[in-house]
Structure 1
Amino acid sequence: MSAVFGWLFVAAMAAVPVVFPDPYVLSVLTSAGIFIIGAISLNLLLGYTGQLSLGHAAFFGLGAYASALVSLGFDIGIGFGLRLRLDPQPVFVGFLAGIAVAGAFGWLLGRLAFRVRGAYFVVITICFAQVLRMVALNWVELTQGPMALIGIPPASLWLPGQGVVPLYTKPQSFWLVLGVGTLAFLLVRQVVQSRIGRALVALRENETLARSVGIRVTHYLVIATVLSAGIAGAAGSLFAHYVRIIDPDVFLFIYTVTMVIMVITGGKGTLWGPVVGGLIFGLMPDLLRGSAPPEAQWIAYGVLMILLVMFLPRGIVPAVAGLLPARRRPAPAIAAMVEPAP
């Protein structure tokens, strides 16, 4: 899809609060947008490196908890009579902290988990998310455990002449999520169109051949994991400041499944796949809510997903792109990574 179409799409979405000011509609779109950002981050791993992370909710939850705790402040004991205290910080500091903490854990997981491949990597990512959920559930002094963190301040922005303005209204939250989502999309596009992106695709297509031409496998996979985790942490931070209450359920497996569905049905390994899949499966449950009983809603949800996987196995975006006039294909990723012979 061209850049012109992309900016037209962003402009159309930005106009939604003006055309449809219904708070319920904006709430649904904002929630869907947060998970679309998470799906964009997962697509960087699943779509461009071929590594399936079923513990991606771990980075989402880390971003949520880190941002909330920095914004609220905390005072905890760390042993030997010592205490760690942090006064409440501005929300934008918490947002950056959520990205940084998620990215740091992404680096740690990447350094450890990419020593294995296939099912072993998947198991490690699932265990990682479950361990973090148990920590959040039992470290009551820091996270309040099952009682949840409450009173999380809303997101805010600094505006010239007005200072720091809290974003209480639905349109303000929607525009913030749209802005962060646009930045995440542009970042991923820049990465996948760079030398790093070509290396990632080469690893996905043939890791052995990529190694043979000198591509440092673990190095590039860790870079992808850190970027993916950081973007997921940004989504989690937005989630925390939007709902303003979080508990250990933010690490649940269902959040990862939601992101995986968005990526696969939209088209993994494509820039617009997570956006299209996220809009469909993020909005569909709410669109059916007033017209069908809960059982029928989930049946329709599952049937649509099965049909898409059966008849459009590559996803919606590749299927639509296949109907458009053929354009010149780019050079293979591995060939692009090899310097021309003198």
Structure 2
Amino acid sequence: MTRYLPPIVLVLLALAPLWLKDPYLLNALITGGIFTIGAISLNLLLGYTGQLSLGHIAFFGIGAYASALTTLGFDVGLFGDIRIVHAGWHPFAGLLVAILVSGACGYVVGRLSFRVRGAYFVIVTICFAEVVRLVALNWIELTQGPLALTSIPQMKIGFPGLGEMTLRTKAQNYYLMLAVATLAYVVVARLVGSRFGRAMRGLKENEQLAMSVGVNATRTLTVAAAISAAIAGAAGSLYAHYFRIIDPDVFLFAYTVTMVIMVVSGGKGALAGPVIGGLIFGTLPVALRPYMAPEAQWIVYGAVLIAILFVMPRGIAPYLDDWFAGRAAARSSAPVAKPQLEGQS
């Protein structure tokens, strides 16, 4: 039954700007949607390969800075009199550069860390995220450091023969976010359903057995990390062009925790899991804000998470799938009443 949830949710979300007139709530949906894209990318690693990336926000932030700098342009010195001068490109080119740069960083991190198993990948991703944050904080000539990169151009979409459109309104940015989220979902779904996806799941369930039938564990995990990082970079690009300002705080560990919560609560290893978790924990703080103080909001936030994991340890999506499957099995096994013939008592 849960296979019908994504199209239903997609239709409902596509209609949201038509009835949701409050710009504050629409802004919350955009922000939550951007981090949901990050959660979809994290689910590819955590849910299908069993590898936890606690520095996943690094790829998100790299995508944000790469897209912003590609669009704004820069003039930075490297060695002596050698300088690199880049004129600003189209914002859509910034999105593509963010995907490529983040994917390349994910590949390098995976290549270095997946040669050793255990918690090595977790440690490497945490260290990588902190190193990238320090670079963004201290390379002031390039990133402006704590002063932040400002006046980042808004995203533009071109149509052949019709010119291009600058996405200025929240509704326009919302539909861009929804389009990228849908594309990320489809990419992950196609990847998981392919032979490569079966190799990922095999490594998660029994690595030694998967390797014995010819699965190259290091290559498979490295490619998965690169694709996951590329999707996170796309989310970071949307973040930069929507808010139009970024600083080193984009690498905060709390953002990684938010993505992990979305994946685990929705159901890791389920395609709809990050979407469901993102809808709940991306909008819950906004829904609670008018009714309680910030401290109470976080208490309720944690209580909801604990309740979900206590009642549904595997997450919401697997629980719904099992529930609907049980209902279907009960209906199919129910005895069918025989029609009584006329005259029988």
Q: TM-score, normalised by structure 1?
A: 0.93
Provide the C-alpha distance between the structure 1 equivalents of 2:271 and 2:235, rounded to a whole number of angstroms: 17
- Larger Rg computed on CA atoms: 2
Q: Quote the residue 1:210 is aligned against.
A: 210
Q: Quote the residue 2:283 is aligned against.
A: 283
Residue 107 in structure 1 maps to residue 90 in structure 2: no
What whole-Å deviation, never above 9, does each CA across 1:228-273 have from its counterpart, x for those lacking one?
A: 0000000000000011000011111111000000000000000000
- Relative distance call for 1:270 and 1:4 in structure 2 (3 A) is closer
What whole-Å deviation, never above 9, does each CA across 1:84-118 have from its counterpart, x for those lacking one?
A: 01101000000000000000001100100112222
Provide the C-alpha distance between the structure 2 equivalents of 1:194 and 1:94, rounded to a whole number of angstroms: 30
1:83-232 to structure 2, matched below 5 A, reads 83-232=83-232
Q: Which range moved further: 108-117 or 172-181?
A: 108-117
Residue 27 in structure 1 maps to residue 30 in structure 2: no
**Aligned residue identity for 2:131:** V
Q: Quote the residue 1:309 is aligned against.
A: 309
Provide the C-alpha distance between the structure 1 equivalents of 2:54 and 2:16, rounded to a whole number of angstroms: 33
SS at match of 2:175: helix
Q: Quote the residue 1:77 is aligned against.
A: 77
User: Offset at 1:29?
Assistant: 0.4
Q: Which range moved further: 309-318 or 31-40?
A: 309-318
Provide the C-alpha distance between the structure 2 equivalents of 1:142 and 1:294, rounded to a whole number of angstroms: 35
Q: Quote the residue 2:48 is aligned against.
A: 48
Provide the C-alpha distance between the structure 1 equivalents of 2:8 and 2:37, rounded to a whole number of angstroms: 19
Q: Quote the residue 1:234 is aligned against.
A: 234
User: Offset at 1:159?
Assistant: 2.8
Identity level (%):
56
Q: Quote the residue 2:320 is aligned against.
A: 320
SS at match of 1:84: strand
Structure 2 residue runs of 5 or longer lacking an equivalent are 330-345
User: Offset at 1:9?
Assistant: 2.3
Provide the C-alpha distance between the structure 2 equivalents of 1:4 and 1:55, rounded to a whole number of angstroms: 32
Q: Quote the residue 1:244 is aligned against.
A: 244
What whole-Å deviation, never above 9, does each CA across 1:308-335 have from its counterpart, x for those lacking one?
A: 122211001111111112689xxxxxxx
Provide the C-alpha distance between the structure 2 equivalents of 1:306 and 1:17, rounded to a whole number of angstroms: 31
What whole-Å deviation, never above 9, does each CA across 1:178-216 have from its counterpart, x for those lacking one?
A: 000000000000000000000000000011111111110
- 2:34, 2:239 within 8 Å by CA — same for their partners in 1? yes
Provide the C-alpha distance between the structure 2 equivalents of 1:8 and 1:161, rounded to a whole number of angstroms: 34
- 2:266, 2:273 within 8 Å by CA — same for their partners in 1? yes
**Aligned residue identity for 1:255:** Y
Provide the C-alpha distance between the structure 2 equivalents of 1:31 and 1:152, rounded to a whole number of angstroms: 17
Q: TM-score, normalised by structure 2?
A: 0.93
Provide the C-alpha distance between the structure 2 equivalents of 1:197 and 1:247, rounded to a whole number of angstroms: 36
Residue 262 in structure 1 maps to residue 279 in structure 2: no
What whole-Å deviation, never above 9, does each CA across 1:39-95 have from its counterpart, x for those lacking one?
A: 000000000000000000000000000000000000100113111011010000000
Q: Quote the residue 1:334 is aligned against.
A: none
Provide the C-alpha distance between the structure 2 equivalents of 1:137 and 1:294, rounded to a whole number of angstroms: 28
Provide the C-alpha distance between the structure 2 equivalents of 1:152 and 1:241, rounded to a whole number of angstroms: 6
User: Offset at 1:161?
Assistant: 4.5
Provide the C-alpha distance between the structure 2 equivalents of 1:285 and 1:230, rounded to a whole number of angstroms: 28
User: Offset at 1:119?
Assistant: 2.0
Provide the C-alpha distance between the structure 2 equivalents of 1:285 and 1:83, rounded to a whole number of angstroms: 45
**Aligned residue identity for 1:21:** K
- 2:2, 2:320 within 8 Å by CA — same for their partners in 1? no
SS at match of 1:269: coil
Provide the C-alpha distance between the structure 2 equivalents of 1:160 and 1:15, rounded to a whole number of angstroms: 27
Runs of 4 or more, structure 1, over 3 Å off, are 1-5
Provide the C-alpha distance between the structure 2 equivalents of 1:161 and 1:213, rounded to a whole number of angstroms: 52
- 2:6, 2:272 within 8 Å by CA — same for their partners in 1? no
Provide the C-alpha distance between the structure 1 equivalents of 2:6 and 2:39, rounded to a whole number of angstroms: 18
SS at match of 2:214: coil
**Aligned residue identity for 1:294:** P
**Aligned residue identity for 2:99:** I
Provide the C-alpha distance between the structure 2 equivalents of 1:306 and 1:115, rounded to a whole number of angstroms: 35
User: Offset at 1:11?
Assistant: 2.1
Q: Quote the residue 1:331 is aligned against.
A: none
Provide the C-alpha distance between the structure 1 equivalents of 2:227 and 2:2, rounded to a whole number of angstroms: 24
Q: Quote the residue 1:300 is aligned against.
A: 300
SS at match of 2:52: coil
- 2:68, 2:241 within 8 Å by CA — same for their partners in 1? yes
Q: Quote the residue 1:59 is aligned against.
A: 59
Q: RMSD of the TM alignment (CA)? A: 1.4
